[in-house]
Amino acid sequence: MKLTTEAKGKKMTCENSKCKQTGKVQRINEVSDSFPNLLFGMGNPLLDISAVVDKDFLDKYGLKPNDQILAEDKHKALFEELVKKFKVEYHAGGATQNSIKIAQWMIQEPHKVGTFFGCIGNDKFGEILKQKAEEAHVDAHYYEQDKEPTGTCAACITGDNRSLVANLAAANCYKKDKHLDLEENWKLVEKAKVYYIAGFFLTVSLESILKVAKHASENNKLFGLNLSAPFICQFFKDNLMQVMPYVDVLFGNETEAATFGKEQGFETKDIKEIAKKAQALPKVNKKRQRIVVFTQGKDGTIMAQSDKIETFPVIEIDPKDIVDTNGAGDAFVGGFLSGLAQEQQLDQCVKAGHYAANVIIRRAGCTFPEKPDFK
């Protein structure tokens, strides 16, 4: 799915009223000829280490067959043993990086449409992460430091189950003044037209998010944020609501949406109503109205824009064809972002998101075939 010369050069004189009728994303200023680095992401980079293990391995580290946890002291030796004892596969991971990677895959060419910032360790896993990002044609610019090792996520596979153990480590060490503020890095931020950050990064560097969000707002570019997890909506509510006025596209799933609605005192459990109320929250850039997109697993995806709320059915899939649902949300966002980057109609962005998610849940991890089959 390439951006045609016509799409690059055409001008959209779309006022808000017309955008409401057509469902188009308001023109992102001028699309520059230098299409690389048009999409910018910032978040927690993790090296996914995946391997088929046995029950004894799970029992040794107190793991459940199908669970997601943060690593504790008792899991420190797990990662090294996983690499030594089993045949492992490495993938560049982390929520935002996954979405940027998927968007790049959907767009295909040119390479390095997506830029990614995050913090890694100066170590072997960091080198693998850089290599994997390069293989995915993502323009990753990592802040490298020696205090903490590269963040990892162990995917311990037993049958159809995957026990995930995440060790954020270096991902927690991102510093605005040491990386984002550097002239050569900030130039990459300025080059972008579409921005995306998962809510997980609100726990790491609020000041970095705000700097990027304000830049997007002041220059009438698109800034997207994901609620990411119920605990973000609950325990990092203040950080989240500092960023919300700059959010043009808000993503989340039904569980996150319900928690967000409860924490915001919306007094409704209806996901459509929560989307509508989230869409109407105060916004700094008045030139474009907020779009809210809530996925609901196998149920339809809800999108609120202007005074319209729509539900889009997902692609049907036989349950026996589902290999791994982890990463489905990241993949949906990646597909959606690929549409935004190419100035597609919003319903086409949702369609691209559904396609990407459908591909990813048929495979182990957030992986994909060489080329997408999406039209």
CA separation for the pair 120, 129 (Å, rounded): 9
CA distances in angstroms from 204 to 174, 184, 311, 330, 334, listed in the order given: 7, 22, 33, 19, 22
Question: Has residue 22 been placed in a domain?
Answer: no
Question: Has residue 84 been placed in a domain?
Answer: no
Question: Has residue 3 been placed in a domain?
Answer: no
CATH code for position 310: 3.40.1190.20
CA distances in angstroms from 144 to 43, 129, 176, 201, 259, listed in the order given: 14, 12, 13, 17, 35
Question: Has residue 184 been placed in a domain?
Answer: yes
Question: Has residue 118 been placed in a domain?
Answer: yes
The tally of domains found in the chain comes to 1
Question: Has residue 63 been placed in a domain?
Answer: no
Which residues are catalytically annotated? 330
Domain that residue 355 falls in: 39-46+92-150+168-361
Per-residue pLDDT of the chain (375 residues; tens, 9 = 90+): 333 333 333 333 333 333 443 455 544 433 333 389 999 999 999 988 888 999 999 999 999 887 777 888 999 899 999 999 999 988 888 999 999 999 999 999 899 999 999 999 999 999 999 998 999 999 999 999 999 999 999 989 887 677 888 899 999 999 999 999 999 999 999 999 999 999 999 999 999 999 999 999 999 999 999 999 898 999 999 999 999 999 999 999 999 999 999 999 999 999 999 999 999 999 999 999 999 999 998 899 999 998 899 999 999 998 888 877 778 899 999 999 999 999 999 999 999 999 999 998 888 777 887 899 887
Question: Has residue 263 been placed in a domain?
Answer: yes
Helix (H, G, I), strand (E, B) or coil at 228: coil
Question: Has residue 15 been placed in a domain?
Answer: no
